[in-house]
Amino acid sequence: MIGKDIRIERIMNRNTNRSVIVPMDHGFTLGQIEGLLDMTRTISEVSEGGANAIVLHKGIVKRGHRRRGRDIGLIVHLSGSTSLNPDPNDKVLVCTVEEAVALGADAVSIHINLGAPTESRMLESAGQVVRDCNRWGMPLLVMIYPRGKGIDPISPASVGHCVRVAEELGADLIKTNYTGDPISFGKIVRSCSVPVFIAGGEKAGDLETLHAIRDSVRAGGAGVCVGRNAFQREDTRAFVQALCRVVHDEMDPETALSRSQ
């Protein structure tokens, strides 16, 4: 697994073994959304803010990745669906691991919604991706969430089930929902053998977002995968700087924000 180890070093901080990852795959799902209209600029701002890695769909890589400024890890997202679909939770593969290798990716990611009507197909696709990742030495980030009728998306039981499924599939990194409190989240993290990141979720206030991230890190989380809560800020670079200070330096959120202004 040397190939995986080398690539993971490009998306994880060696000193903290944590990461600040900024997914920017939302345009596929939602269209031309605010914050992702000028991809070259947004990627540059996220990079300058100190993020460890970004998540892009294959066609967007050429629009800014590594063309200027500070280098940053590249995660190519393999899953897709659109908000125009009656069931946007139905994710299908739109890229392959081999394509990601050709693009110079440091990792790939897939999306699974447990509890969705098409759960079985997403799990089957994940098994295929895991085999390809092991063949190519490519790290896999599994973004997995409890999403279905009558399912509480932040209940410790549901989130814990998601994490366990991702680990048993063979994920190298896992992104899921934060349970809302460090005690229940800490129990989930301690029961998993691979790094677990929390999702940023819907856009929230600066301090609210940073406090949740701080609590998850203190509970043993590996950091954050935050999209709209980063690239839709008035000052994306400054907010990403604050994120990095909270995740890597365990800085108090208020202090992290004041130093980034």
Q: Catalytic positions, please? A: 25, 145, 175
181 Cβ partners below 8 Å, 6+ apart? 215
- Cα(237)–Cα(235) distance, integer angstroms: 6
- Cα(255)–Cα(114) distance, integer angstroms: 37
Bridging pattern class, strands 92-93 and 107-114: unpaired
Q: Which two tokens stand for residue 138?
A: 């490519």
Neighbouring C-beta atoms of residue 199, cutoff 10 Å: 19
How many angstroms separate the most distant Cα atoms in the chain? 46
- Cα(115)–Cα(146) distance, integer angstroms: 6
Kindly report the length of the chain.
261
120 Cβ partners below 8 Å, 6+ apart? none
Answer for the pair 79, 65: CB distance below 8 angstroms, yes or no. Answer: no
